[in-house]
Chain A
Amino acid sequence: MLQSVLSEEVINCMRCAYCSPTCPTYISLQTERASPRGMIALIRALVEERLPLSKNLATQIYHCLDCQLCKVKCPAGVNTDEIFACAKEILAQSKFFPSPLDKLRTRIRETGNIAGEDKETRLLWGQDYSELFPELVRAKDAEVLLFLGCIASLFPMVYALPQALIEIMGKAGIEFTTLGEEEICCGYPLLAAGLPIDDQMERNLAQLKALGAKKLVTACPSCYHTFKENYPDMGMEVWHASEFLAQLLEERSIPFKPFPKGVTYHDPCDLGRKSGVYEPPRQILQAIPGLELVEMEANRAEAFCCGGGGNLESIDPALSAAIADRRLAQAQAVGAQVIASACQQCERTLAMAARRAKARIKVMDIAQLVREAMEERWRP
């Protein structure tokens, strides 16, 4: 099955290499096997049994960020994403499956999250909010069920995102709740590794459906994309937080104070290119008085990945960092004082890049920015 999908698709590559100069991995490594064209050649050789499965091959395929810029840029319309996904499925069943990903699989299976933390720690970010929001955990029939994702829940560096989101929602009078410590990984990192996600799907669906919320709002673009693309009908609307906030600002008047800074918006791959959500985050930024939105040269469908895509950070953290440095430089080139994004993974990688470069540039989530600009702040 995989083989036939592959052989039908790889043949469409005309090897023009127009993908290569757009690929963040190729740009950093400058070797043909790191380019999408080279990876397709390797996969074609595998399918045609000219090349065996090997550790080298596996390493190369998992260097792909799954950012899908090559797919956008391909003149022949090759579904590069499908080719790489099929190749990963084959590799995941082989002895060459990279050990960092094997460990990730075990962590997710055992703890339900990518960090391998106890599930009780999943709500640490919200411990100061329990009095203010008694409905924070698994309240029934709320209007909104907030799905926070592993990174926002478990990495203190980005706790500010869920905190900002619930403060804004609270201020706007939205009834919301979360799955609390029962939230588990949506399965995205497993999919990106070529592994099945039936277990994650089943457990999340049972939890989500049980609460009877009308809308599922995800803080994480990867969760959002996975719910929309890979889950069966969930019986509720799926929104990304940026879409929800944009709608909220349109419907209710939230008074803002000026935020006189040059802000650039970094499109997360899973939200922008892969899900087509480009404008809502920009609408939010433009609603803030004084804020000047400056676009990077590579924006929207052509945005350059932050380096945190796919599972590259687990496979090759140095390369992931080098790619983040490049994206940071693109933001600096347009003189931005703030990089806003709508993805906690992008925000983590870009914030670390800014720290490495000792750059005077702040990385913020759109929700954080909205909270900061709100006239009345609502803090516990």
Chain B
Amino acid sequence: MESEVLNRLREIVGEGYVLTSPEDLVCYSYDASQPTLDQLPGAVVIPGSVEEVVAILRLANEMGFKVVPRGSGTNLSGGTVPPPGGVVINMLRMDRILEVDERNLTATVEPGVITDALQREVESRGLFYPPDPASSAICTIGGNVAENAGGLRGLKYGVTKDYVLGLEVVLPTGEVLTTGSKCVKDVAGYSLTQLFIGSEGTLGLFTKITLKLIPVPDAKRTMLALFDEMEVASRAVSEIIASKVIPSTMEILDRTTLKYVEEYKGLGIPSDVEALLLLEVDGPMEVVRRDGERVKDICRRVGAREVRVAESEEGAEKLKEARKAALPALARVRPTTILEDVTVPRSEIAPMVQSIREIASRNDIQIAIFGHAGDGNLHPTCMTDERDEEEMKRVEAAFGEIFRRAVELGGTITGEHGVGLKKRPFLALAVGDEGIDTMRRIKQALDPNDILNPGKIFAPR
């Protein structure tokens, strides 16, 4: 990196907050997506205030270097991989919970706040911030907003976008924009807040985020159902929703996942089970009781082989073991684990699972499936070895087919991991050329010099 750029960056944030050692650059060359996407940055800069972020972006425009904002670098789509030789803006120093407003049920935070830390803070006041990406112990709210992160509670509670009321955004050209407010109702002009959510660090850097909170549900009940056929499990999901019960959790594990979970944990799940559903209902006690009974009855009626209902907190933890073990079990099978993400309408879960299996078998690769059945968001997970180039080609081909099939079934190429670099070639499948063109025009309008996370979501023009 040019020494003039580095010196100017040091003037902005202070000597200790510009990292340039080869070791630091290696450590900011990746996120949680595959190593083939890694790129070394030219420097890492760690701002401590909105003013510093503004100055960094102004400098980037002036001197023509590219930047990428980064929280904890846990995204799975290559979205935080730096532009080659560019500058990583590490937002972890801005990590204060600025306010929890119990009268308006909002929290205002800086982008580097860890999701779990916010959840703990609001829960200590009887409040609830529902989005729960699996990496909540380490991922940041800024990253969650940039990726529009989901989680297990999407069906009932929605995803990050349903909780963002307002943002302070530094635009790529350095202006500070405030969007939204603490008001639930706010239709003053375009909904710019929603424009920035899920923009994957391409349209602006968040420096302040106002989130909606809700009261913590009084009670919950956890259940587990085993099925001999995927279709029957899928029918159970549809019938539960049709019965006007919206479970807070509705997770599905397929037989391949169950096989490895069983090998890893030995939970005693019979080997001929085709699908496992983990279900949780929450709300006021009477509602939980009623919904719990309804869910149990439906599972039995459609033909579940077995339904277990937790009678205690420990019992609930036991039922959750298989779901918790899914990723760890699969990640141990082969050196490389590719955790993918497609969504279909929930009525299409069984056909989608069937297609994924056919595609995997035709391409001679190993894929296990688990995911969020309630919202149709599946995680086909491939166990492979990145050193085997020939196999990796088959993996890539198979995922191409899987994304196409998801779109054919009325779904989309990603439910919660984002497009980043990994799914860029498939974006047109989901949004069409017009969609990409519209996004490009927005990008061009806000970032005329293409300095902010260029080449993510869609290729530069």
Contacts and interface: CB of A to CB of B under 8 A. Distances in A.
A206 interface: no
Interface of A is mostly: loop
Interface string B303-338: 000000000000000000000000110011001110
B444 interface: no
A50 B73 CA distance: 21
Chain A interface bracket (under 10, 10 to 19, 20 to 34, 35 or more): 20 to 34
B28 interface: yes
A11 B327 contact: no
Contacts of B337: 14, 76
B138 interface: yes
B92 A30 contact: yes
Given A14-B32, A14-B337, A16-B32, A38 B138 contact: no
A153 to B, nearest CB: 38
A22 B22 CA distance: 25
B28 A32 contact: yes
Residue of A30, A50, A76 with most chain B CB atoms under a 10 A cut-off: A76
B143 to A, nearest CB: 11
B386 interface: yes
Nearest to B24: A33
5 contacts: A17-B72, A17-B74, A18-B138, A32-B28, A50-B26
Interface string B136-153: 011000000000000000
Interface string B174-185: 000000000000
A56 interface: yes
Contacts, number: 78
Interface string B186-209: 000000000000000000000000
A255 interface: no
B114 interface: yes
Contacts of A21: 114, 116, 137-138
A166 interface: no
A60 interface: yes
A60 B27 CA distance: 12
Contacts of B336: 11, 14
Interface of A: 11-12, 14-18, 20-22, 30-33, 38, 41-42, 45, 50-52, 54, 56-57, 60, 75-77
Given A17-B32, A18-B137, A54-B23, A77 B335 contact: no
Contacts of B21: 56
B114 to A, nearest CB: 7
Interface string B108-121: 00000010100000
B387 interface: yes
Nearest to B30: A15
B27 A41 contact: yes
Contact of A75 (B35, B328, B387): B328
Contact of A51 (B26, B30, B73, B331): B26
B31 interface: yes
B135 interface: yes
Contacts of A76: 328, 331-332, 337
B452 to A, nearest CB: 21
A77 B332 contact: yes
A56 to B, nearest CB: 5
A18 B331 contact: no
Contacts of B138: 17-18, 20-21
A76 B387 CA distance: 17
A45 B116 CA distance: 31
Nearest to B385: A11
Contacts of B92: 30
B27 A38 contact: yes
A41 B26 contact: yes
Contacts of A41: 26-27, 29-30
A38 B30 CA distance: 10
Nearest to A59: B23
Contact of B23 (A16, A17, A30, A42): A42
Contacts of B26: 33, 41-42, 45, 50-51
Interface string B56-82: 000000000000000011100000000
Given A54-B23, A56-B23, 19 more contacts: A11-B336, A11-B385, A11-B386, A11-B387, A14-B339, A15-B31, A16-B32, A17-B73, A18-B137, A21-B138, A31-B24, A33-B27, A42-B27, A51-B22, A51-B23, A57-B23, A76-B331, A76-B332, A76-B337
A21 B115 CA distance: 12
Contacts of A57: 23
A14 B331 contact: yes
Nearest to B38: A41
B190 to A, nearest CB: 35
A165 B32 CA distance: 49
Interface in B7-34: 19, 21-24, 26-32
Nearest to B327: A75
Given A17-B72, A56-B21, A12 B335 contact: yes
Contacts of A56: 21-23
Nearest to B72: A17
A31 B16 CA distance: 12
A49 to B, nearest CB: 12
A33 B92 CA distance: 14
Contacts of B386: 11
B23 A77 contact: no
Contacts of A77: 328, 331-332
A328 B69 CA distance: 35
A16 B35 CA distance: 12
Q: Closest 7 interchain pairs by CB?
A: A76-B331, A32-B27, A75-B328, A38-B27, A33-B27, A11-B335, A21-B138
Contacts of A60: 23
